Amino acid sequence: MIILLHVLVAALYAATAWARWPRNAAPRVAQQRAGQWLLALALVLHGVAIWHAIVRDGGLDLSFVNALSLVAGLAVLAAWVTGVLRALPGVAAVVLPVAAACALLPPLAATHHRVPFEGDPWAAAHIGVALVAYALFVVVALQALVVTGLEKRLHRGLPDTPRGTPPLLTLERYMFRLLTVGFVLLTATLASGMLFSEEIFGKAVPLNHKNVFSVAGWLAFAILLVGRWRRGWRGRTALKWILGGTLLLVLGYLGSKFVREVVLGR
């Protein structure tokens, strides 16, 4: 039954991507409404499915496939709530099929990674804030790619952007607002990890790949925000820093999990 639920979630994400795909100039009103309802249902059912996969007696099962599915679902939710899916169909064309594929993975999990949290809500809060931050950075990275592509089309004199797309400067300002929110959440994650690591997880902060990559990602975003504030960084310069910082975070969290659980089988 749970396996069928994951398959249904994947099918709903795929149907939403089809319903939102711009035909001719822009999706029709009925098509847009269908996409909204399909996406809402997909997110609700994905939440139910991932809850059953992750929440276990005595802890959270944050194995690689569960974490990947959760981050993908949170990325879709963040892109929908913030209006990125509506403003930039190109983001939907990437994030929805990826979420559909990731939703199928939890039943295939061969390893499990239990994180105890009973009696200590700080652990669950720490993990939750971290996952939301990662999801926001994924959305920002996709948005940066699409905005850069639209900017290139404009400079080359190619046909106009799809009807209903906000001005590029508006999209860019909104992108940096999302980036700032993600940076604040990431800062809170790293700070709570350093201050309460021993209390939450029973050991001091270790010097491992996950923590090194996470701090490096934080530094990349900090440099970008300072560069934006002091020098007005935008365009390709901003894109490079956004993609670099996001890649570092993905390598630090999901990458380390992949190597440990899939490659090494621990």
Angle CA(43)–CA(44)–CA(46) in degrees, nearest 5?
A: 60
Question: Which amino acid belongs to residue 245?
Answer: G
Of 119 and 197, the one with more pLDDT: 197
Q: Give the pLDDT confidence score for residue 27 in this predicted structure.
A: 53
Q: Give the pLDDT confidence score for residue 197 in this predicted structure.
A: 67
Q: Delimit the domains of the chain by residue range.
A: 2-263
Provide mean pLDDT across the span 198-222.
78
Provide mean pLDDT across the span 138-161.
78
Question: Which amino acid belongs to residue 143?
Answer: Q
Q: Give the pLDDT confidence score for residue 31 in this predicted structure.
A: 66
Q: Give the pLDDT confidence score for residue 2 in this predicted structure.
A: 79
CB 182 within 8 A of CB 217: no
**Quick check: 206 pLDDT over 80?**
no
Q: Give the pLDDT confidence score for residue 24 in this predicted structure.
A: 41
Residue 108: Cβ within 10 Å count: 9
Provide mean pLDDT across the span 219-234.
93
* Cα dihedral 180, 185, 187, 193 in deg (nearest 10): -170
Measured CA to CA, the distance from residue 84 to residue 77 in angstroms comes to 10
When pLDDT is cut at 50, 70 and 90, the band that residue 18 belongs to is confident
Provide mean pLDDT across the span 66-81.
92
User: Considering the entire predicted model, what is its pTM?
Assistant: 0.85
**Quick check: 56 pLDDT over 90?**
no
Provide mean pLDDT across the span 11-38.
73
DSSP tag of 1: -
